[in-house]
Chain A
């Protein structure tokens, strides 16, 4: 099997990510390991959202809610372990199982209702549901309300892997990304993926040839929500902190921007998009320029906005359109 130049670039990127902690060790600055770990977690969330948006044509505007749900499971578990001495709630495997289960159930509920609508209505209703979760989190005083919850101890994986070790946590995140990429690859090429893509392409014809797209779309919604919940589990452990802010609709918007930046017609697009998004944020906000007493870096979004418009207008598939073998048109 020979690799196309596109596959070579993807492989090179993954190899770089695999070796990153050693580079930062060498430089002696672990800040970048933390930054890239955050990027990879967001890439996992964006990849799961791209199953809905890129392949299924379902523009869900509330995906960050599932990340928040997964993260809160860890936060709440640790909270009760510390405050009430419920030790089993520290157990990382139980936390993980609940993070997946709860986000799946929430996705099932939101999806079952939202997927009865189309287009702008679907966008609005998914956003509304995520805002409901956001305000619920803001309202619960026990779990810190607005201020969120500090996580005093990371999930206890019973010695199999030590999440307090930054390098171990990084590799857990990296391997998770690889698994999610592989899962998406298989999913998109499967009979199920065929139905999801067909329903985006031409729903009327799908019904005419005998498919009921709703149940397949709902399944995709639950799969995507569950993976996002998993991203939340990782995020809580990385940040040692959860807050309602993780679920705010603007966070969902960030995930969509990552997909747009990276290219929604490709498997790796969301990964490139997450990298581009956070790198740009990091770069633009550290521009050392001062005009009339204003630090340009503080207003990085003023530069980011027009850039995004250019991407949408001239590079429909974002980063993906600059890679060799990009699909022309559409």
Chain B
């Protein structure tokens, strides 16, 4: 682990019975970069995200984030030190409005919620930052719509807005473009470019055009192992990667 690493993963392992979903995996994310993870289906990308956030425990290995060993930290605890994720399969508060979805995430990081009397939807400490994020992500016109009534593309945007509302140091985006139309994806790439200037991002994505245009560095995951890490150009010209992954698509 070097000085500039925000996140470092060392020899991480996750076993599901006989299957090694994460196999002695090591990688690092530098402060300020957008680090993309690509790999064929079943390479263990989402498993890695879940291990990072603490949703599932790791069998062995070490995760260090902002200088802190995450071993004993719960999933909510990791959120509080600045780890946030978006979900591959949209995971929102469906019957809440767009604004309420984001407010709830702001509320989670605005002290305890043992406040039983004051109306929460009039609390400017929550609505102001939430509206700010909706503006940045381009959903402010939909603030009062129930999440369930959004289009798929808008739900994907809200997915990111909710993650952003926790004021993360590192944003883990799990296939943010999943199921999006080409136009929606292109618009989201624009948003991500803007986000990139302010946040460190670990991006898992299948959309190669998006990955190669956004990433500072790319790691290629195959069967739970990082077979290569490098700049987009290095990855494009890496023989192992071509064989293992890109070869299938080219």
Residues of A within 8 A of B (CB): 186-187, 189-195, 197-198, 201-202, 204-212, 216, 219, 330
Contact = CB atoms under 8 A, between A and B. Distances in A.
A210 B91 contact: no
Contact of A210 (B96, B109, B118, B121): B109
Contact of A198 (B55, B74, B79, B93): B93
23 contacts: A186-B116, A190-B116, A190-B120, A191-B107, A191-B115, A191-B118, A192-B114, A194-B113, A195-B104, A195-B107, A197-B96, A201-B93, A205-B92, A205-B162, A207-B76, A208-B53, A208-B75, A208-B79, A209-B79, A209-B104, A209-B105, A211-B113, A216-B113
Contacts of B84: 208-209
Nearest to B104: A198
B119 interface: yes
Interface of B: 53, 55, 74-76, 79-80, 84-85, 87, 91-96, 100, 103-105, 107-109, 113-121, 123, 162-163, 165-166
B113 A191 contact: yes
In this complex, the member of B92, B95, B104, B109 whose beta carbon has the largest number of chain A beta carbons within 10 angstroms is B104
A186 B76 contact: no
Nearest to B108: A210
A212 B76 contact: yes
Nearest to A195: B113
Nearest to A210: B79
Contact of A202 (B79, B93, B103): B93
Main secondary structure of the interface of A (DSSP, over half): helix
Contacts of A210: 76, 79-80, 105, 108-109, 166
B96 A204 contact: no
A211 B76 contact: yes
A205 B91 contact: yes
A206 B53 CA distance: 13
Given A209-B165, A216-B113, 10 more contacts: A190-B116, A190-B118, A191-B107, A191-B115, A194-B103, A205-B162, A208-B85, A209-B84, A210-B105, A212-B74
Nearest to A327: B95
Contacts of A195: 104, 107, 113
A211 B108 CA distance: 6
B72 to A, nearest CB: 15
Contacts of B105: 209-210
Nearest to B80: A210
Contacts of B165: 209
A219 B114 contact: yes
